[in-house]
């Protein structure tokens, strides 16, 4: 039996890390929902009642999208949808505090429990936290009802979907949690709505290699009708072992009151968090009454310092230039409804591409993704929702201010956050509005400097300047004296006629062929053009005073208004890398043999360019064809300075000869990496494998199954075109809308795996050629 290909240690560790921030009172609320898209208007006073008949509604588990969309989405479903769920609580929980946390609900949500209205929430990217303690009863079936509206909103923005450059989708598309707490408990920051308050808040006022101070703020509430005597314990753990412990003196907490408690610990020789050493501690916070733990939370933390000196970035006292990329959180067909494992796999792909930082464009991304970035050593630029849209109304402005506060309250303890992008992207905002948003960062993250960032050059600590804007307005860099980051580059300036290069001199077809928007189906020449563009643009960034940059974009994605995908991704929408992905891989710092990169950017067939590019961070590369050496090339170390990228090794082959290209990479005279590419022969079969770094689990996991058209030797036939019939067995469903198409020799099936108890079987058939392939997996085999 074939087994699922997996980087087991890495992915399972990351999956474990997802649970470390969960206290024992936090349980999944994802299963057993009923769902309907509203056709005729439904009366909430009827739907919200416990006796409402939802038998004809669809049964779903979360995360869930309101509508499966085609691969290219230019008429996305918008409207009203409803979710209902029956649940019970234990008798002993009736006297406790019961909360629900919705990680993401698009876009305007109204919530009822047992027919009573609980709350309304605006905005689809940040959590909704609801206290349902007074609405539920033990010994009966409780009913929760949620009405979602994902139509365009003047209050939440962004631009209307028909003219938006990305999609917002719909549904309860992230996890939902039930949180049960003792009447004396650690509060929830988004529910308390207090400036720099609520929950556990951790900062690092002093950080060095020899010592670090950890400042811990804990907000405790007593909902009893009597006063209690409490102690607060903090335990810092490294790899599960307690290395530091604090216990406060007993304090009296009056009935119905709260107390904000401050504690501090000093750690000698701390293991600092950085992009190349993502050291993580666990801080367990416990409330004790008469020696008994009444509430506890575990927070995964990384100790680091961030400082700007002039325009230069220092992390833990080390000067850094951080190479980055932008990401949209979209998957094909299911929109935003990714599993936690899918979020983790995206983060792994980004880290493996050699990036230090991710700009979370243009909205908050999921807690699972943030946790993965902590574990992998990926910095983030954490952003509120915004794109080319501003309204001068009080309702809109207050909504944006609130999202800025909620973003920081949600993510303030993450090691990965580098900057807070409290800005509406590509939007002309009044200066006083920008200054207010920047002030919110200062208010919500006091005592230790946190940095705001924005798209305009006044009002923020850090200026985001896209490369095309800098080319159009070269005087801007001289005007701005503070630190700046090239927020987007490598795409628009190679595509638009007014983006500042020479596109206005090119005919439309040439402009398309030489842009960075290249599908894998367009072939080698155009994929190499994209890679050339990103190298040229990166070199330009390196010769500015910017401290970092973000390529646009990591994955191909849908735009709300367009008839095709946006193809500037380093990987396609199915997470299959393009040549430019390997260019970026070759830019990562070589520390040991596992960091070595050698990749031949060729399919090596009769249509392949004879100037063969090899992306590598090795000192020397040897290229051979059918066992005969073509050339040896040594990296030009003078050019490979901090001001230039590592250029690809380019080998001139005089004539095409079918066979095998082999590239050998050497470091300090030692052979450390080999890559091979073979000329494909006639297609003979279908080979099915799951995406790299896949650890298949149940619970609504999403997995890409790649159906490769290969010859008798297993080489992908990149010029093969057909549609594939996919048949599945097991508790699994095919999520593709429309035909499963072969593109550049690979067809992709998106699978939703509910459970692996019955195993997983995939059968594939090429409709025209009748080529076949199969894949089987069973647990514990």
Q: What is the mean pLDDT of residues 39-54?
A: 94
N- to C-terminal Cα separation, the chain:
8
Which stretches of 80-226 are DSSP H helices?
A: 189-192
The gap from C-alpha 326 to its chain's centroid, in whole angstroms, comes to 10
> How far apart are alpha carbons 527 and 609 in whole angstroms?
11
Alpha carbon distances (Å) from 618 to 51, 588, 651: 68, 11, 15
pLDDT above 80: residue 10: no
Highest mean pLDDT among 1-5, 661-665, 774-778: 661-665
**What single DSSP character describes residue 456?**
S
Q: What is the mean pLDDT of residues 491-513?
A: 87
Residues 6+ apart with CB under 8 A from 240: 282
What's the pLDDT tens digit per position in 356-385?
999 999 999 999 999 999 999 999 999 999
> How far apart are alpha carbons 367 and 514 in whole angstroms?
38
Give the least confident one: 126-135, 362-371, 438-447, 462-471.
Answer: 462-471
What's the pLDDT tens digit per position in 326-346?
999 999 999 999 999 999 999
- What is the structure's pLDDT at 551? 98
Q: What is the mean pLDDT of residues 185-189?
A: 97
**Which H or E run includes 435?**
helix 431-444
What's the pLDDT tens digit per position in 712-759?
999 999 999 999 999 999 999 999 999 999 999 999 999 999 888 888
Please count the helices (runs of H) and the strands (runs of E) in the chain.
Answer: 12, 45
- What is the structure's pLDDT at 19? 44
Residue 278 pLDDT class (50, 70, 90 cuts): very high
SS3 content of the chain, % helix, strand, coil (to 5): 20, 35, 45
pLDDT above 70: residue 2: no
pLDDT above 50: residue 20: no
> How far apart are alpha carbons 162 and 668 in whole angstroms?
55
- What is the structure's pLDDT at 641? 53
Give the least confident one: 64-73, 114-123, 264-273, 559-568.
Answer: 559-568
**Which H or E run includes 289?**
strand 281-289
Nearest to 267 by CA among 242, 285, 230: 242
pLDDT above 90: residue 666: yes
What's the pLDDT tens digit per position in 388-431?
999 999 999 999 999 999 999 999 999 999 999 999 999 999 99
Alpha carbon distances (Å) from 394 to 156, 390, 400, 402, 433: 12, 11, 10, 12, 11
State the DSSP string of 74-91: SS---SEEEEEEEE---G
Q: How long is the chain? A: 781
Would you tell me how many other CB atoms lie within 10 Å of the CB of residue 539? Answer: 14
Q: What is the mean pLDDT of residues 86-104?
A: 96
What's the pLDDT tens digit per position in 51-91?
999 999 999 999 999 999 999 999 999 999 999 999 999 99
> How far apart are alpha carbons 158 and 403 in whole angstroms?
13
CB distance 652 to 671 below 8 Å: no
pLDDT above 80: residue 245: yes
Dihedral pair phi/psi, residue 492, rounded to 5°: -60, -40
pLDDT above 90: residue 694: no
> How far apart are alpha carbons 759 and 137 in whole angstroms?
39
CB distance 708 to 574 below 8 Å: no
- What is the structure's pLDDT at 626? 98
What's the pLDDT tens digit per position in 517-568?
999 999 999 999 999 999 999 999 999 999 999 999 999 999 988 889 999 9
Residues 6+ apart with CB under 8 A from 462: 308, 419, 451, 452, 453, 454, 482, 483, 484, 485
According to DSSP, the β-strands at 628-634 and 598-600 are unpaired
User: For the packed helices 8-20 and 367-376, what is the interaxial angle rounded to 10 degrees?
Assistant: 120
Nearest to 701 by CA among 370, 331, 375: 331
């Amino acid at each position: 039996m074939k087994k699922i290909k997996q980087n087991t240690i890495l992915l399972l560790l990351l999956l474990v890390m997802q649970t470390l921030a969960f206290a024992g009172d936090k349980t999944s609320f994802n299963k057993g929902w009923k769902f309907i898209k509203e056709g005729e208007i439904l009366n909430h006073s009827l739907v919200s009642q416990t006796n409402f008949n939802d038998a004809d509604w669809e049964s779903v588990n979360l995360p869930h999208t309101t509508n499966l969309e085609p691969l290219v989405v230019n008429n996305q479903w918008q409207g009203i949808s409803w979710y209902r769920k029956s649940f019970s609580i234990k008798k002993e929980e009736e006297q406790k505090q019961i909360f629900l946390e919705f990680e993401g609900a698009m876009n305007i949500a109204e919530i009822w429990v047992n027919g009573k209205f609980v709350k309304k929430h605006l905005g689809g990217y940040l959590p909704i936290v609801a206290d349902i303690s007074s609405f539920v009863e033990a010994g009966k079936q409780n009913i929760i009802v949620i009405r979602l509206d994902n139509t365009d909103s003047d209050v939440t923005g962004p631009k209307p979907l028909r003219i938006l450059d990305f999609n917002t989708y719909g549904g309860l598309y992230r996890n939902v949690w039930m949180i049960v707490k003792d009447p004396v408990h650690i509060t929830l920051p988004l529910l308390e709505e207090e400036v720099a308050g609520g929950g556990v808040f951790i900062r690092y006022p002093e950080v060095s290699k020899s010592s670090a101070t950890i400042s811990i703020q804990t907000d405790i509430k007593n909902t009893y009708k009597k006063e209690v005597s409490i102690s607060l314990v903090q335990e810092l753990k490294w790899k599960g072992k307690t290395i530091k412990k604090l216990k406060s003196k007993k304090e009296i907490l009056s009935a119905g009151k709260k107390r904000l408690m401050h504690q501090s610990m000093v750690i000698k020789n701390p293991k600092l968090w950085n992009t190349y050493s993502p050291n993580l501690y666990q801080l367990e916070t416990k409330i004790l009454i008469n020696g008994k733990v009444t509430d506890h939370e575990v927070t995964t933390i990384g100790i680091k310092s961030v400082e700007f000196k002039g325009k230069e970035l220092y992390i833990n006292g080390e000067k850094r230039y951080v190479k980055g990329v932008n990401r949209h959180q979209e998957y094909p067909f299911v929109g935003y409804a990714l599993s936690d494992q899918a979020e983790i796999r995206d983060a792994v792909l980004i880290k493996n591409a050699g990036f230090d930082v991710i700009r979370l464009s243009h909205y908050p991304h999921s807690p699972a993704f943030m946790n993965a970035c902590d574990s992998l050593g990926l910095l983030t630029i954490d952003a509120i929702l915004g794109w080319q849209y501003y309204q001068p109304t009080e309702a809109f402005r207050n909504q944006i201010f609130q999202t800025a506060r909620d973003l920081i309250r949600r993510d303030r303890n993450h090691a990965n956050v580098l900057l807070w992008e409290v800005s509406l992207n590509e939007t002309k905002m009044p200066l006083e509005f920008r200054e207010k948003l920047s002030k919110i960062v200062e208010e919500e993250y006091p005592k230790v400097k946190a940095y705001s960032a924005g798209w305009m050059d006044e009002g923020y600590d850090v200026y985001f300047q896209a490369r095309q804007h800098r080319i159009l307005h070269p005087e801007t860099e001289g005007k701005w004296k503070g630190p700046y980051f090239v927020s987007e580059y490598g795409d628009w300036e190679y595509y638009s006629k007014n983006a500042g290069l020479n596109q206005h001199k090119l005919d439309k077809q040439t402009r398309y062929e030489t842009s960075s928007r290249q599908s894998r189906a367009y072939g080698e020449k155009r994929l190499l053009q994209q890679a050339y563009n990103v190298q040229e643009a990166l070199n330009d960034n390196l010769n500015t005073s910017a401290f970092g940059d973000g390529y646009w974009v990591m994955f191909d994605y849908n735009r709300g208004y367009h008839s095709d995908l946006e193809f500037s991704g380093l990987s396609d929408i199915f997470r299959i890398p393009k040549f430019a992905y390997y260019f970026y891989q070759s830019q990562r710092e070589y520390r040991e043999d596992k960091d070595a990169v050698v990749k031949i950017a060729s399919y090596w067939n009769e249509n392949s360019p004879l100037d063969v590019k090899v992306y590598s961070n090795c000192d020397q590369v040897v290229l051979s064809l059918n066992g005969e050496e073509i050339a040896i090339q040594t990296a030009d170390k003078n050019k490979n300075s901090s001001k230039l990228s590592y250029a690809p090794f380019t080998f001139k082959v005089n004539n095409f000869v079918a066979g095998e290209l082999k590239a050998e990479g050497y470091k300090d005279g030692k052979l450390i990496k080999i890559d091979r590419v073979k000329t494909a022969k006639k297609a003979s079969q279908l080979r099915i494998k799951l995406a790299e770094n896949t650890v298949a689990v149940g619970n609504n996991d999403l997995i890409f199954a790649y159906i490769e058209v290969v010859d008798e030797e297993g080489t992908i036939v990149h010029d093969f075109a057909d549609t594939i019939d996919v048949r599945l067995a097991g508790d699994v469903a095919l999520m593709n809308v429309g035909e499963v198409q072969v593109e550049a020799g690979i067809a992709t099936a998106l699978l939703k795996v509910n459970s692996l108890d019955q195993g997983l079987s995939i059968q594939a058939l090429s409709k025209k050629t009748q080529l076949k392939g199969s894949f089987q997996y069973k647990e514990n085999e």
